[in-house]
Structure 1
Amino acid sequence: MMENQVAVGVYALVAWFSLYLLIASLLRLWTRTSHLPDAHRAHITESFVSGVQGAACGIVGLCTVVTCKHDVMGAKYPLAVHYSSIGTAYFVYDLWAMYRSHAASKSFVKSQLECLLSYLKKDLLMIVHHITIVLVLFPAMVYHSPMGHFFVGCFFCTELSTPFVNARVILSRLGLKKSKIYVVNGLLMMTIFAMCRIALFPIMYAAYLSQQTKAPTHIQALAKIPLTCHLSCLLVLAPQLYWLTLMVKGALAVVNAQSSELPVKDE
């Protein structure tokens, strides 16, 4: 089984790189984006691939949750296992894609080492997030956790907000930051982000407690969950709270900016 998973991961890694190169080529040919700076096209390409991954992962997550909801502790879903390798390959690829976008925006940097250090400094939180998912979260959830795949599906559902996050970047790079579609997408982004990346955690615990009848109290039932599971939840939840705060601040800034641009009526 492990050999099959490695093979799936290798094929997926090739597919992610190929999709990136395909989109990058199409953007150079599209008249609307052909004149854009390399940094803008790099960010659009990275965001497009990220949106595809988010949609795919979220759909797999929803299928897994629906299939396994009858037995959150024991039910298994093979597609969740296969997608774990695809997702791992994506986060490995995305470390490179993020660096490409950063390097394209730092054309004045003199050396590769200087550019790499600048990348590590600027995107350290995101880099740690990716490495944690690849080395800790996916292996712990799929291969080492005694829990069912219902919880794996819930973690996959956190990616449902990703297409909206990346649509925001794409619209911004296309010069549509003041359009109505940008505002609507921003509202959907914050709503789905809060639901799928923050509210999902208490929902997971509630689903577990609703089916856990062996322990006399909820406290004892929670104590039976491996510490690694609690830590994994905290590791994933912490940056989500930080990013939601940034989204809310950004939304308030947009609203304030639009309010200041409204004409003042003479009394």
Structure 2
Amino acid sequence: MLLTLACGSILFPGFFVLGAWGLHQVLPQWPVIDCLTFSNRVVSSIQAVLASSSGIIVVLSCTDIITCRHWLAREYVWVLIPYMIYDLGAMYICYWYRNRGEDKKHSLAIFRNFLKHDRLMLIHHIFILIVLVPIAQVIRGERGDFFVGCIFTAEFSTPFVSMARILILWKKQHTFAYKLNGFLTLGTFFFCRILVFPFMYWSYGQQKGLNLLQTPFHIPFLCNVINAILISPQLYWFALLCRKAAQMFDTSQGKKDS
């Protein structure tokens, strides 16, 4: 546990700092904020690959979705803790560089604006740290590794979300690659961050001889509450992605018509 926490605490901030510094050396014409944003997106993608790979391994190894155990289901949570803390700091650093004044000092006003601007993502991260981590490591006991693995696989869509931002930094938002990445983002987000929840209910129902509609009434009420809390921001973000995709399609169609 301690070794995993220490490795995560070094790995993510280290990649972020080295990545931003290296980009600034190779591309000195890039603004610092672009180097920071690019590096942050790469680190997010690295974590997403690690998390989703761990999740897939856990899910495929569990023959009994209640009692089967896999060491990754517990160990990777210790990686998530330093990552979530790092990501909160990296988000603020990027926001500060984008909105800092001429004096280049941190201010309470900037911090308050940051809390308002990224409040949903902040709540998401803090909820994982103070609610999901204790549940995953202590409260659930020796059961439910399968469901922890399913939650890990939700990160599969993150590299595509990050790639969209990187393509924008490269001024490639009007290219086929950007549109293709947009469709992949929508697809992976829908399957891995939304359909994963009915999949977990369906898997439990299959083992217990229940259909999908019966399953929510045969599991602890707290599980339904937590799943509702988890899926709510995903539905909101998916709606935003659909809106952006529609705007992209309308823009492309407008260019063809003209």
Q: 1:207 is matched with which residue: 203, 210, 213?
A: 203
**Corresponding residue number in structure 1 for 2:175:** 179
Which of 108, 118, 122 aligns to 2:101? It is 108
**Shift, 1:222, TM fit:** 3.8
In angstroms, what is the RMSD of aligned CA positions? 1.9
TM-score normalized with structure 2 length: 0.93
Contact 2:16 2:36 in 1 (8 A): no
Contact 2:201–2:215 (Cα < 8 Å) also in 1: no
| Closer, same or farther: CA 221–121 of 1 in aligned 2, 3 Å | closer
2:195 partner SS: helix
Aligned to 2:56: 62
Change (3 A) 1:37 1:218: closer
Paired residues for 1:32-47 under 5 Å: 34-47=28-41
Instruction: Tell me which of 116, 130, 133 is aligned to 2:128.
Output: 133
Deviation at 1:26, TM superposition (A): 1.4
One-letter code of the match for 1:119?
A: F
2:79 to 86, 90, 96: 86
Shift of 1:228: 2.7
1:208-234 residue CA offsets vs partner (Å, 9 max, x unmatched): 011115xx8877764442333222211
Q: Evaluate the alpha carbon distance shift between residue 229 and residue 7 of structure 1 in structure 2; reply closer, same or farther with a 3 A threshold.
A: farther
Q: In the alignment, is residue 259 of structure 1 matched against residue 253 of structure 2?
A: yes
User: Retained in 2: the 8 A contact 1:142–1:149?
Assistant: no
Match of 1:25 among 21, 33, 56: 21
> How far does residue 44 in structure 1 lie from its aligned partner after superposition?
1.0
Residues 109 and 115 in structure 1, CA contact (< 8 A), matched pair in contact too: no
Counterpart in 1 of 2:224?
230
Q: Deviations over 1:173-221 (max 9, x none)?
A: 11111111111111001001000000111110010011115xx887776
Residue segments in structure 2 that go unaligned for 5+ positions in a row: none
CA contact (8 A) 1:75 1:150 kept: yes
Alpha-carbon distance in structure 1 between the residues aligned to 2:138 and 2:35: 38
CA contact (8 A) 1:142 1:152 kept: no
> What per-residue deviation string (whole Å, max 9, x for no partner) do you get for residues 27-49 of structure 1?
11223xx3122222221111110
Which of 51, 64, 77 does residue 71 from structure 1 map onto?
64
User: Any conservation in 2 of the 1:168–1:185 contact (CA below 8 Å)?
Assistant: yes
Asked if 2 retains the 8 angstrom alpha-carbon contact of 1:61 and 1:80, the reply is yes
Query: Quick check: 1:123 aligned with 2:118?
Result: yes
Structure 1 letter corresponding to 2:158:
T
- SS across alignment from 1:170: helix
Structure 1 106/217 Cα, relative in aligned 2: closer, same or farther at 3 Å? closer
Q: Which runs of 5+ in 1 are unaligned?
A: none
Cα distance between partner residues in 1 of 2:84 and 2:158: 13
* Aligned residue identity for 1:48: V
Q: Distance in 1 between matches of 2:170 and 2:163?
A: 10
Deviation at 1:142, TM superposition (A): 3.5
Tell me the residue number matched to 1:153: 149
